[in-house]
Each structure stands twice: as C-alpha cells, then as structure tokens.
Amino acid sequence: SIPVGRGHSCTSFRLEGWTEKSLPFYQLLIEVEDKGEPKKFGYLQVNVTIQDINDNPPSFEQDQYQTSVFEDAAVGSSVLQVAASDGDEGANAEIRYFLDEGTPFQIDPKTGTVVIKEGLDYESKREYSLTIHAVDNGVPSLSGRAEATIKLLDVNDNDPVVKFRYFPTTSKFASVDENAQIGTVVALLTVSDSDSPAANGNISVSILGGNEQRHFEVHTSPVPNLSLIKVASVLDRERISSYNLTVSVSDNGRPVARSSFASLVIFVNDINDHPPIFQETEYRVDVSEDIPKGSYIKGVSATDGDSGQNANLRYSLVSGNALGWFSISENSGLVTSAGLLDRETTSEIVLNISAKDQGLQPRVSYTKLVINITDVNDQVPTFTQSTFHVSLVEHAPAGTELLVLSATDDDLGSNGTVHFSFDAETPASAQELFRLDALSGRLSTAAELDREERASYLLHVQAADGGSPPLRSAGRVNVTLRDVNDNRPVFYPVQYFANVKENEPSGSYVTTVSATDPDLGRNGTVKYMITAGDTVKFHINGNTGKIGTLVPLDREEKTTYQLQVAAVDGGGLRSHTQAIVTVTVIDTQDNPPVFSQKVYSFVMFENVGVGTVIGTVSATTVDLNTNISYLITSGDQRGLFGVNGAGQITASSQIDREEQSFHQLKVVARAGEITGEAFVNVTVKDLNDNAPHFIHAVETRECGGELGHGSRHLPGQSF
C-alpha cells in the first residue's frame, strides 16, 4: 500500500508465475480496512485478462512426409495432406502454407493439401523433394517447415522404339545377295522402351507383313533387347527384288501392352539388273515462245538401284525434236532451248527422253517431257482477203448488212482477239455512211445510198489485235451499188424547132428528140412515143427519138405543127415533162438563116466569170426585114452557157475543166418561123487549180536483175 494523500492510499498487484497454460482471465476481490475503531472495510472486484503475444511458431505434425503417385495422375489431383499447429491465439495462430518453386506441385495455402500443378512424367523424373513452409499471421510472423518426398509410379505410357542397323554399318538400307546362305544376318534390330522394366514387361518381336514367302525370320539374341533378322529360305531376285517387312514390337506391359511398328526394306543385290527409274513418268512445263536460245526448260532425273557404272546414267533425246528446238545435257538431264520457238508452228512438243546406265549390258528407261509453248503477241491479224467486193441495191435501208469482215490471228487470248475499225484513209464523209462493228466485223450501211450520186465506195479498214502493243493490218472493201429504177427520163431540151420543106417525100427527117435516164440497163433504156399532135402526118422511132414524116406536107394547107413526145424507161416510168416539137412547113422559095460557119470552135479558160464572152456566132438570111434570134438547143444540159441576140455566147455559171473539158453546143438561129443551125465546139483550157495526186497510193513493179542507166522503172500516173 502506498499513501497518496490524506485518507487515501494506492495498492499495486504483480502477476507472477503465469504461463500460456494458465488461465487467460482472473477475477479478484480486494478488501480494504481503515485504522479506525471500529474498523471499517471496503471491497473492490478487479477483472484481469491476459493478452497473447506471437511467441509460438507453427509446428508440423511430421518433420518428414512421404507419398507416391502414378505419373498419369490428372492435374489438380490431391497428392498429400499436411497440417501444422500454433499455440498462439487469433491472428498469431492463423497459418498459411506454401512450397518452394521449381516443382510440378502446389499447396492450398489454407488447407495444406498438395495437388499436381503440371503433368508428370516418370521417364523425365522419378522423385521430387518438397520443402513445405507454414507461416502464421503474427507481427512479426513466425514460420515452420517440413520436408516431403513424392515418388512417381511408372505406367506403361511409352511405345517401344525400334532401330535397325545394316551391313555395312554405313549403309542406309538393308541388302542381301540373292545367293546368301540360310541364316545370313540381314539386319540388327534393337528395341528401347522408356518405361521401367516393371511396367513394360518383356519385349517380343515378330514380322507381321511383307514376308508371305517366309524368306526371313527373327532370332532373339542373348543380348537384351537385340534381335537378328536372318535369311530363312532361298532368295530369287528375278522373282522378288526387294522386301518391305512390317516388324511389330510389343512390350507386353500391364494393364495394356503397347506396340510399335517399323518398316524394314531389304534389297536383293544382283548384277546390273536394275533399269534406270525416272522420278516422273511424264514431265510437264510451260515456256514462252519468245525465250532466247539457250534458255532453261526443265530438268529430268532418273535413279538406278545398281551401283558404280551400273548406275552411271546418260540422258539423250530419242524422238520429238524434229524441229531441233531443244537439247539435253548428257550428264545432268538438263533440257535447254537450242533454237527460237514458234507457238504458231506447234503449241506442244513431246520429247521422248532416255536414261541409259553404263553397265556391260546397259539398261534403258524412258520418260516424256511435254512442253507447252505459251503465246506472245507476234502474229499480225490477217484479213482472209486483201480486198473484199460487195454489191448493194441502192436506197437499201440504213442498217443493211454488207458483209462480215474476217481476219485471223494465230495468237491466243487477247493477243488473238481481233477488233475492226475504219482506217484513216477512209474519208470521214464515207465513214458517216457506213457502220463497222468492232467485235463482229459486221459492215452495214448507216444511211440510204444513191447510185446516181455515187456508184461505188472504196473503204479502207484495219484489223487490230488486243496485244500490248497491238498489231494491225489493213484491208479494203469495194462497195458497188446496184441500180434500181428510181429515175424518170428527162428531156433536154424540152422544146424542139424543126423546118420541113413542103412537098418533101414521106419519111423525110424532121428532128430527133432526146431524153436521158441515169439508171442502168433496162431501167435507163428510153422509149419514145407521140402523145399529142398529128400522128397521121408524123411518126417517131421509139428507140432513137427520130421524128419523120408519114406523108408530104403542104404549106398552103398548114404552116405549123406541134407534137408532144413522152419518154418511158424500161421499168415503166414516164417523164414528168413531155417534149414539145414545133414543126414549121417552109416554102421552097424561103431562105432559112445561114450561119457564117457550120461549126464554130472557141477556146476558153476554166473558172472565168459569169457573163464572160466566149465567142460570137452569126447567121444571115437573104430575106429582107428579118430579125434573127439565137437559141442553144442541145449540148448544155447543165446550163453553163448562154447566147444573146447578138450571137455572143457567154458563161452562165462557173465552168470547171476537171468536170468536162469539151462542150459541143447546137445553136439555132430563128428568123420568124424559119431556123438554121450550127455547132459550136468549146474547149476549156486548164488553170492550175488542182494539186496532183496518185491514182494508187502504192505502186508495185518487178524489175529485172540488171537495169541500165536511164532505164524506165515505173510509169507514174497522177491526175
């Protein structure tokens, strides 16, 4: 008791001898008495709780754990259960478990259950040592550890592995002479199995296939896992040259035995009785036709089961190289081009190639090399004919087919696809009248054509292929229009004047009318007939238009006759306008106008101005007081000339020498009812108003081998 003040004191207590096995809680009753008389007592209850500190590390139930597990146990399988205890309380007694890294196991940190984390393999590792740690959650934490050994139990999960050894040891396959003695060892067979002997049992070897003739057998050797393949009966290479034995090896393991199979090929040796064998019975290759000489084509290769000179092969071309386009290397079998190729000559070459060994009795094998020659654009499209001739009825409707152009191109694909078009030599005016389909070559009209405007057309066309760049050739189409009766006869002149003396005998000539029809043949043939007038006194020759008298005429009876004449062509079309023939009967004493010349000849230059005087004609009559007038009655259908009252012949329009260089005009002089006539010849002289151009764009002539100086090579023609 310690005094702390008047009437007060403080009492302290000490806990002695307390351990973790003592009670964690105490309840004390404290009595206090004073010094008075009588004594007074006071009481106090004190509760004492003992608090824990982390002074106990976790402790495993065992320091060393041991267990085993089959190697094929599934991942996640439980392997071992460990447990540790801690004398502390609360967080100080909460335990976590963990393993050192580097094992295929893991532990549940709370329960202490060890499970498989990764797949196990007895053949890789048979035993694992684990260090298991237990750590409490105190601050600072305390830990304990234990060791665990986990042994893997083998299961039969590996197939036996077979390996052959041949003689000699450097050989890669088994061979045996066909005269080998029975019991001759052909190959050694060794077997290995990664499983433990307890799991895989005893190894057994047998031949399952390829030994139907029982020419070979298996012998077990005293050496473990070694067997011998021996000859069991007489061999005959001429009957069987090689064997492919299927060898079975079983480990006889439990619960399920495992087996493996191996193929053992045994060749029976002989003296050069193996022919060369090509890798392929037929080789194929595509090459472009434009490859240069010496280019690689293909390599052929053959093997020979023999050895030495018996397997030393020589290659050669046996047939198929008649064009000499290819050659082959004797030693390597490399085929190269020996000349320029042409797909259009042949698109496929089949070379027969031989391989011959160099044995004393050589053996030969054959193969084929099929060479497909691919196309390049080296062929120009060619029209089936250089000039096409076609005729068409004029006025045929637009779209009428004339012909289908045809051109050949021996190339393939787009290189051989031909498109047609008009050449630049065809005038644009002509191209507008025709239509040419580029793909089909169909040539048709784009408008109605009139033969009387133009009787023929020369179209220049071209054929171009689809290559890059394209190749093209030119051709020509000569279009001729056939006539239809689409024109009526036309009189020129329309009026005719004729004088006939009275009392002339019947059959006397009066005049000749003329009508023209630009149609051809029968459609252009004109017949004449008198449709009005005195047909008793006059008649007309239906073919010539010549009018004559049927009876003598009498001026005192009638002085003038007028006839109407119609013209009809062979198709039945009649002229719209009829000719008017005025026949004047003159007295025998009358004098018609007489020209100073029967024929006048004048020369003029082309393209003179309108109204230019070309020449003058003059007619006179002995009659008095007679006025003479002049009229051009024929020879001027186009109205190029005129004549005035003074007899001056003038130009009525522009005159072109290139259209017509000579004109013969018939001029009539009329004095009252009496006429005279004369002919006027007009020669049109040239002016240099046209550039020359050749009739043909190209002229080809063949010349002899020797031409002397000044020899005439080619007559040039132009207009």
Q: Between these two residues, 590 and 668, which has the higher pLDDT value?
A: 668
Backbone angles phi, psi at 460, to 5 degrees: -95, 125
Length of the chain: 719
Does domain 277-374 fall under CATH 2.40.50.140? My reply is no
pLDDT at 528: 94
Q: What's the mean per-residue pLDDT of the chain?
A: 86
CATH of domain 594-685: 2.60.40.60
Give the burial string for 229-260 (b: 16+ CB within 10 Å, else e). Answer: bbbbeebebeeebebebebbbbbebeeeebeb
- Which residues are 497's β-sheet partners? 582
Q: Is the pLDDT of residue 439 over 60?
A: yes
Q: In this structure, how many other beta carbons lie within 10 angstroms of the beta carbon of residue 302?
A: 22
Q: CA distances (Å), 674 to each of 294, 539, 549, 595, 630, in order?
A: 101, 22, 18, 13, 12
Q: Is 532 in contact with 505 (CB distance < 8 Å)? A: no
- Rounded CA-CA distance 106/102 in Å is 10
Q: Is 542 in contact with 527 (CB distance < 8 Å)? A: yes
- Rounded CA-CA distance 565/547 in Å is 10
- Within 8 A by CB and 6+ apart from 181, the residues are 231
pLDDT at 286: 93
Q: What is the DSSP letter of 416?
A: G
- How confident is the model over 106-119, as a mean pLDDT? 92
Fold of 490-586: Immunoglobulin-like (2.60.40)
Digit-coded pLDDT (tens) for 232-275: 999 877 688 899 989 988 877 776 778 888 899 998 876 676 88
Does domain 382-482 fall under CATH 2.60.40.60? My reply is yes
Does domain 161-269 fall under CATH 2.60.40.60? My reply is yes
Picking from 10-14, 379-383, 499-503, 539-543, which range would have the lowest pLDDT averaged per residue? Answer: 10-14
- How confident is the model over 503-507, as a mean pLDDT? 89
Own/partner contacts of 45-49, CB < 8 Å, gap of 24 or more, are 46/13, 48/15, 49/24, 49/25
- Residue 226's Cβ-count burial label (10 Å; 0-12, 13-18, 19+) is middle
- How confident is the model over 590-616, as a mean pLDDT? 90
- How confident is the model over 174-179, as a mean pLDDT? 84
Tracing tokens 């073919």 back to the chain, one arrives at: 543
Digit-coded pLDDT (tens) for 528-567: 999 998 889 999 998 999 999 999 988 778 889 999 999 9
Quickly list DSSP for 376-428: -S----EESSSEEEEEEETTPPTT-EEEE--EE--S-GGGG-EEEEE-TTS-H
Q: Is 584 in contact with 559 (CB distance < 8 Å)? A: yes
Tracing tokens 């003058």 back to the chain, one arrives at: 616
- Within 8 A by CB and 6+ apart from 464, the residues are 381, 418, 419, 421, 470, 471, 472
Q: CA distances (Å), 6 to each of 2, 3, 10, 149, in order?
A: 12, 8, 12, 74
How, if at all, do strands 95-99 and 127-136 pair?
A: antiparallel
Backbone angles phi, psi at 198, to 5 degrees: -65, -30
pLDDT at 394: 83
Tokens for 598, please give them: 């029967």
- How confident is the model over 166-177, as a mean pLDDT? 85
- How confident is the model over 461-475, as a mean pLDDT? 88
- Rounded CA-CA distance 643/561 in Å is 26
Digit-coded pLDDT (tens) for 400-409: 898 999 888 8
Q: Where are the domains of the chain?
A: 59-133, 161-269, 277-374, 382-482, 490-586, 594-685
Q: Is 249 in contact with 205 (CB distance < 8 Å)? A: yes
Q: What is the DSSP letter of 718?
A: B
pLDDT at 304: 87
Tracing tokens 């064009």 back to the chain, one arrives at: 323
CATH of domain 59-133: 2.60.40.60
pLDDT at 717: 45
- Rounded CA-CA distance 105/124 in Å is 15
Question: Residue 123 CA to chain centroid, in angstroms?
Answer: 61
Q: Between these two residues, 279 and 702, which has the higher pLDDT value?
A: 279
Report cis status (omega within 30 of 0) of the bond before 276: no
- How confident is the model over 339-368, as a mean pLDDT? 91
- Which residues are 244's β-sheet partners? 265
Domains 59-133 and 490-586 are alike in CATH topology: yes
- How confident is the model over 127-148, as a mean pLDDT? 91
Q: What is the DSSP letter of 292?
A: P
Q: Is 200 in contact with 191 (CB distance < 8 Å)? A: no
Candidates 205, 125, 123, 128; CA nearest to 156 is: 123
User: pTM score, two decimals?
Assistant: 0.37
- How confident is the model over 14-31, as a mean pLDDT? 67
- Which residues are 568's β-sheet partners? 527, 574
Report percent pLDDT > 90 for the chain: 41
Q: Is 322 in contact with 339 (CB distance < 8 Å)? A: no
User: Could you tell me the pLDDT band of residue 713, with boundaries at 50, 70 and 90?
Assistant: very low
User: Could you tell me the pLDDT band of residue 705, with boundaries at 50, 70 and 90?
Assistant: very low
- Amino acid identity at 40: K
Q: Is 643 in contact with 667 (CB distance < 8 Å)? A: yes
Tokens for 501, please give them: 């003396």
- How confident is the model over 599-605, as a mean pLDDT? 94
pLDDT at 479: 92
pLDDT at 703: 54
- How confident is the model over 487-515, as a mean pLDDT? 90
Digit-coded pLDDT (tens) for 291-350: 999 999 999 999 987 777 888 999 999 999 999 999 999 999 999 999 999 888 898 999
Q: Is 344 in contact with 377 (CB distance < 8 Å)? A: no
- Rounded CA-CA distance 462/476 in Å is 8
Q: Please tell me whether residue 441 adopts helix, strand or coil conformation.
A: coil
